[in-house]
Structures are given as C-alpha cells and as structure tokens.
Amino acid sequence: MIRLVIGIIIELISAMFLLGMVISNYKDPDPLGVTIAGSIFIVIIMISGGLLIYFGIKKFSTRQKVLNIAMKTFRENGSINYTKIQQELNVNEYKARKYILWGYRKNLFFEISQNGINQPKDLLN
C-alpha cells in the first residue's frame, strides 16, 4: 500500500513539474538543452511513479488472493494449506506465510462457536 501511495505522489509531482515546464516555456522560451533535460527528468520520474503504482497494485492483489484462499481453507479444514496456495497462485512459501501473518495480525482468522468469536492460538505454529 505504501508503494501505491508513494507512486501516486510521485506522479502528481511529475505532473506539476511538467505543468511548470510548459508554463515557463510559454512565457519565456528556454534554450533547447534545458527543455530536453527537463523533459527527460520528468519522463524518468513519471516512469518510476508508474512502476511503483504497478508493483503496489500487484502486491495488494496477490496478498488479497492469498488471504482469500487461506481463509477458505481455514474455514473448511481448520488449518491453512500452504501448498495449495503455492500451486494455485505460483507464490513462494515465504510470501504466502508473510501475507497470512499480516492477515493474522489484523485478526482476519477467527472461529465462531457457541461461546463467541475466538482467534485460534495455534495458527502460526
């Protein structure tokens, strides 16, 4: 999520740079070298912001898919099957466990019984 926010901020900053360059060239034309260097700088910033947005969205969607499968297997079996997640999403075990630990810390995994809602203690073992 942080990558996504930083990418959007970088895109906004680069758009402001582009607008400033267009306004300054409209009022008083700069030498061609300054305009080309500024354009290259803005393009590099826009590409880096776009990459941050892309990877942020990719990480967010992967985490959501892993947690959906994990919650489904937890609901059916009472435990989480990491091999099923690896086979379905082609995600290594480290990332799958990291995303599931994030979901566990956000209290997404719980059992509903007659006594109320209980978060299992043995999920991380």
Residue 125, in any domain of the structure: no
Residue 96, in any domain of the structure: yes
Q: What is the pLDDT of residue 121?
A: 55
**Tens digit of pLDDT at every position of the chain (125 positions):** 777 888 888 888 888 887 777 777 677 766 666 677 777 888 888 888 888 889 888 988 988 998 888 888 877 877 777 888 888 888 888 888 888 888 877 777 766 666 655 666 555 54
- Distance, CA of 21 to CA of 29 (rounded, Å): 10
Residue 124, in any domain of the structure: no
Burial of 120 (0-12, 13-18, 19+ CB in 10 A): middle
Residue 123, in any domain of the structure: no
Domain count within the chain: 1
Q: Residue 93 is which amino acid?
A: E
Q: Whole domain around residue 14: which residue ranges?
A: 2-118
Q: What is the pLDDT of residue 38?
A: 75
Q: What is the pLDDT of residue 110?
A: 67
Residue 38, in any domain of the structure: yes
